[in-house]
């Protein structure tokens, strides 16, 4: 668990310990003891599995590729979380991502625990045949600990529905005759995936921002105006109300491209996406970028944005080509972070100009930067609130596999937004009423839920 996650969980526990109306059955020494137990349960994973996948590559060499499956907590249901395929994967990172999944599922009332997987490799440097073998081996090595009621992986950075299809098929071969559809989510629709799963995270990311600045604002304007005397975040939200907004999006993959597209076609807010970026470039146009054209281009170029004037011409897009890190420092109102962790940190936090940051990626803002920006009144919509669309629709996929009944795309989005709206309506009034950043509010909510469940299960001894 990262220091940031640990610290906020501990702060939440300290606040709840003092609040004697919370779990009033626990008093005196028993209360102290229970909260100490909670601290240790939530700050450590239940299991860390590590294997070295032995792979005979197509080029004749035989390699061992390190792979992880971390199971953080399953108090609320089976472990759940993606498998990241990236060269920078490491054990600490996977543990932190697994703990964020526990908190995210608790926040949105998804009946899952938290897990995460990772394979240390750059998938772009392997052939399709090699990747197929790597996926099969991952399932073979971890087949005892995963399964529809134990631990349900999904895609993450570097993996997608192709990998989930391969993995589910391998699980089915290893466990013939047993239920297998729910063993992986994020599968292709023909293999039992849910309509709308691929778009769910990006849509949810944009929804959280739009809901706060439009729907919530519309109904709660008076409350916000009242709160704005003492609450800097309420002042920030009011500052952006009804104004044309400039957005920048870091990362143009599964999450970033969909979030950018949602902004591009949004009819509720007057906003334009003036910049997008990926691992190679930032593209900037102060009049707004043609996002559908960029989505088309990237789908034909292994997910990459245009990097040269010729490629911009091929895409039919007008933009300035800038360094990839430039996206972070532009003079925009809203910055959506949808690439990797630790993008805003001690060394660059003072260059950020956006007043609202939405965390599509997990943990893209370090604790120092989080504190610094929050103190300045920047609203940071945290990962566990903003990027839960994927796991919420994964849950619908898992249910559809069980019920052998399928929802239309419109039904999936309706259910997704209903769930996210419920969470937002629980969290936002407290956020604009309290002096705490949104992340702290979300964590308190998650920790309350997990604490109550663990207490009722008799686990706090």
Which residues of this chain interact with ligand NAD, rule CB under 6 A?
A: 155-158, 201, 250-256, 277-279, 303, 324, 338-340, 360-362, 387, 390
- Closest CB 248 distance from ligand NAD, rounded Å: 12
Cβ atoms of 430 and 441 within 8 Å: the answer is: yes
In the bound complex, which residue of the shown chain has the CB atom lying closest to ligand NAD?
253
Residue number with CB closer to ligand NAD (17 or 275): 275
- Closest CB 280 distance from ligand NAD, rounded Å: 7
Query: How far apart, in whole angstroms, are the C-alpha atoms of residue 178 and residue 147?
Result: 10
Residue number with CB closer to ligand NAD (212 or 283): 283
- Closest CB 446 distance from ligand NAD, rounded Å: 16
Query: How far apart, in whole angstroms, are the C-alpha atoms of residue 126 and residue 55?
Result: 12
Residue number with CB closer to ligand NAD (227 or 295): 295
Query: How far apart, in whole angstroms, are the C-alpha atoms of residue 405 and residue 47?
Result: 34
Which two structure tokens, joined as six digits, stand for 104? 């995210």
Residue number with CB closer to ligand NAD (148 or 360): 360
116 is catalytic: yes
Residue number with CB closer to ligand NAD (74 or 298): 298
- Closest CB 292 distance from ligand NAD, rounded Å: 16
Residue tagged active-site, from 80, 116, 136, 203: 116
- Closest CB 130 distance from ligand NAD, rounded Å: 18
Question: Residue 151 pairs with which residues in a beta bridge?
Answer: 79, 147
* Active site (catalytic) residues: 116
């Amino acid at each position: 668990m990262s220091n940031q996650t640990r610290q906020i969980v501990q702060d939440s526990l300290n606040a709840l310990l003092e609040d004697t109306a919370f779990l009033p059955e626990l008093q005196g020494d028993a209360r102290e003891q229970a909260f100490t137990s909670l601290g240790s349960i939530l700050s450590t994973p239940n299991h860390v599995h590590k294997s070295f996948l032995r792979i005979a590559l197509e080029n004749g060499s035989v390699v061992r590729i390190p792979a992880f499956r971390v199971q953080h907590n399953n108090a609320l249901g089976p472990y759940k979380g993606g498998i990241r395929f990236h060269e920078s994967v490491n054990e600490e990172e996977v543990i932190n991502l697994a703990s964020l999944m526990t908190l995210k599922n608790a926040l949105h009332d998804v009946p899952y625990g938290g897990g995460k997987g990772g394979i240390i490799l750059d998938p772009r440097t392997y052939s399709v045949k090699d990747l197929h073998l790597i996926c099969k081996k991952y399932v073979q090595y971890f087949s005892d600990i995963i399964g529809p009621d134990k631990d349900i992986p999904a895609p993450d950075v570097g993996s997608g529905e192709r990998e989930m299809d391969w993995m589910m098929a391998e699980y089915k071969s290893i466990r013939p005759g047993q239920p297998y559809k729910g063993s992986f989510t994020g599968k292709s629709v023909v293999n039992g995936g849910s309509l709308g799963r691929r778009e769910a995270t990006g849509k949810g990311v944009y929804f959280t921002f739009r809901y706060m600045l439009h729907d919530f604002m519309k109904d709660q304007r008076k409350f916000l105006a009242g709160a704005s005397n003492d609450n800097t975040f309420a002042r920030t939200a009011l500052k952006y109300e009804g104004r044309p907004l400039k957005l920048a999006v870091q990362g143009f993959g599964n999450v970033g491209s969909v979030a950018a597209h949602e902004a591009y076609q949004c009819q509720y807010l007057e906003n334009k996406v003036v910049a997008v970026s990926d691992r190679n470039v930032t593209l900037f146009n102060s009049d707004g970028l043609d996002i559908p054209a960029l989505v088309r281009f990237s789908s034909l170029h292994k997910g990459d944005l245009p990097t040269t004037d010729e490629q911009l011409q091929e895409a039919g897009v007008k933009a300035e080509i800038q360094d990839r890190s430039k996206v972070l420092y532009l003079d925009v109102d809203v910055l959506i972070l949808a690439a990797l962790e630790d993008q805003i940190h001690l060394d660059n936090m003072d260059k950020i100009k956006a007043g609202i940051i939405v965390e599509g990626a997990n943990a893209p803002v370090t604790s120092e930067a989080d504190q610094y920006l929050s103190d300045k009144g920047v609203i940071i919509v945290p990962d566990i609130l903003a990027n839960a669309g994927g796991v919420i629709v994964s849950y619908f996929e898992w249910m559809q596999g069980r019920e052998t009944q399928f929802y239309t795309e419109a039904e999936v989005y309706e259910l997704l937004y209903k769930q996210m709206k419920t969470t937002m309506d629980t969290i936002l009034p407290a956020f604009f009423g309290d002096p705490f950043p949104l992340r702290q509010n979300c964590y308190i909510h998650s920790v309350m839920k997990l604490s109550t469940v663990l207490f009722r299960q008799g686990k706090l001894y």
